[in-house]
A and B are shown apart, each in its own frame.
Chain A
């Protein structure tokens, strides 16, 4: 196979049009008490997919709001029965282990015990995550040909639980193993048309991506050692320790993004389409972090101005009410409307200033090797899509878009 021939992807979406679409659909979602959100999601995905371009061809998203709504209804019924029964029965059996708590710690422990039924949800969440990816692929087309994924969600569930336990027991040291084998499970079951994706590579090659985490741990150990060994007084020590949470978040936040970006780089570069088409992914941690930080600042600024305006309107109408004027229905309606618009703006701004730039960055750093081999790919059958992400939607696992 010749990988000399290559084609870099590009992203053509704009801020203005996406913001308009997101704001319009968010307002419709509010007006319909949330029902329109399925259509909103489908429309935003259509926009973003159509912005991702390889050569002169774009992706196409074909999912519909209607099928997502129906899938959600199914998921809600299944989850209502499952959650209701499982939580009640678990709680009932949990009651048998209750002892009268003596210390505050025991009280806290016992209170948290009753939230353990959360773990009954974990298999369903993993199931929902696989199903959501399968649905997303089944509704993505390129050059008229469908992507797709095998029906293998339960195999993913028990593997993900097993790997999760191993990673937990190894204090995170086996995270690369988990990342690699779960990605391989999903990739090896993914298709473009009649052609299968193959995940190559080995899990130990993901350790360099852990650098950020290792750096964080080293810094943590070093600073604890420094504080312990230095001749600082206890007041100074306490003053230093106060910076720990902030430093912790900064260092591990960096480690997290670094790992996500670099494990994605390696895993994508090791993927092929049946050995004939290869990929090269070079996203950068600094750029992703930069997008998040600048985006968060912009969104925070705009939203605080908006809420400032709302606060001003509230203050004016309160002052008017104190002066004896009856607070008009009008001013209450204006405040409520402003509040809802501000909420809708928040989501739309985050989409335009954070999510879209990140997608654009990942797209523009992706190269397809030997794209000529794509011509030989043939169509695959339609996948009904089962619950159309209904479970993911009901369990709040919704992807960023």
Chain B
């Protein structure tokens, strides 16, 4: 557009009306600005250093120009537009004006982003780690026990239904002598004391070395745990621990907390491509299960039960030592349970202080319990 061919045609929109103005553009005499001439309007002058072009446009043969201006708009741009289609002018502008594609962030943008990002992260963290657990605890305290028990039964029904095989046979073990031995263990542990809940015990025929408590007194041991245990005292210790969770209402707390927090993580991470993995990992760190404080309290409760029933906790130490090899791979802050090594030490100290003990089951009962899933 500069040189012998003189000014070139362009389309101009003044940013005030939708009228399309036929314009002629040329660099000013001093070379510092672009002059826009229209019939019936005063000439406009846009300084070259403030000249900007629209990015990511589909038609490479046209250049839509605007000018840097302090407006309240989403970007600091004047609303007026100049559309240049003359090939020589487009090429000349792109070649000689490297600042055309500049982004022009407003002052303080980075500070603003950092503030908002920090605020959002803080708000979500407070929600997940302070408000929801607090509210879950508050509501769990106020939930009527009958409701908790009914919900626990309903949860167990669902669990049984989900783990049953396609023939509808569920995993619950039913050997009569084994069940009797389990009942004997429960009676020995709990005795006549009022826990506030009817404890209902089940063994699932699964190799997992684990046990869990559903709300309202439903406790499940997995066959793998009984297989792994070397004597009845070890099983009794686990049972005492789970009863501890039931009495502290930990399962219903956890359920309430999860009800509030599950939606939030998928909200944040959900639609990132491949973000499901991240969401799953986040969920693991968030709620591997109960808090470590709750686990420690359940351990203490178990010691209370075992000591009062005159059951030795020395075998429990051996059990922790053995599973420490499996479980202590995770650092303590990632794991819900305290490290097994530490728990073994605590069990040993407790055993040293309480020496007047008797076996929890006799040899025949222990064999029956080990065979509870043989049907």
Contacts and interface: CB of A to CB of B under 8 A. Distances in A.
Contacts of A395: 267
Interface string B213-224: 000000000000
B161 interface: yes
Nearest to A14: B58
Given A30-B273, A57-B11, A144-B13, A84 B261 contact: yes
B357 interface: no
A57 to B, nearest CB: 7
Contacts of A117: 259
B138 to A, nearest CB: 10
A110 B151 CA distance: 10
A343 B116 contact: no
A301 interface: no
Interface residues of B, number: 73
A143 B18 CA distance: 5
Contact of B154 (A96, A100, A144, A374): A100
Given A29-B273, A56-B11, A81-B123, A12 B267 contact: no
B18 A34 contact: no
Contact of B139 (A57, A64, A92, A347): A92
Interface stretch (B124-132, B295-303, B339-347, B360-368): B124-132
Given A62-B73, A83-B263, A84-B127, A46 B55 contact: yes
Interface residues of A, number: 83
Nearest to B117: A73
Contact of B54 (A44, A46, A69, A83): A46
Interface stretch (B29-37, B74-82, B93-101, B326-334): B74-82
Interface in A41-98: 43-44, 46-48, 50-51, 56-58, 60, 62-64, 66-67, 69-70, 73-74, 76-77, 79-81, 83-85, 87-89, 91-92, 95-96, 98
Contacts of B41: none
A225 interface: no
A98 B147 contact: yes
A313 B128 CA distance: 41
B352 to A, nearest CB: 44
Interface of A, helix, strand, loop or mixed by DSSP = helix
A144 B255 CA distance: 55
Interface string A254-282: 00000000000000000000000000000
Given A73-B119, A77-B119, A91-B256, 17 more contacts: A17-B58, A29-B273, A60-B81, A73-B117, A81-B123, A81-B127, A83-B260, A87-B259, A96-B144, A104-B161, A107-B154, A117-B259, A144-B18, A344-B273, A378-B18, A393-B271, A396-B270
20 contacts: A33-B272, A46-B54, A46-B57, A50-B54, A57-B83, A66-B113, A70-B113, A77-B120, A80-B267, A83-B267, A88-B132, A88-B135, A88-B139, A89-B139, A92-B139, A98-B150, A141-B79, A144-B13, A377-B17, A378-B17
Interface of B: 11, 13-20, 54-59, 64, 71-75, 77, 79-81, 83, 105, 109, 112-113, 116-117, 119-120, 123-124, 127-128, 131-132, 135-136, 139, 143-144, 147-148, 150-151, 153-154, 157-158, 161, 255-257, 259-264, 267-275, 278
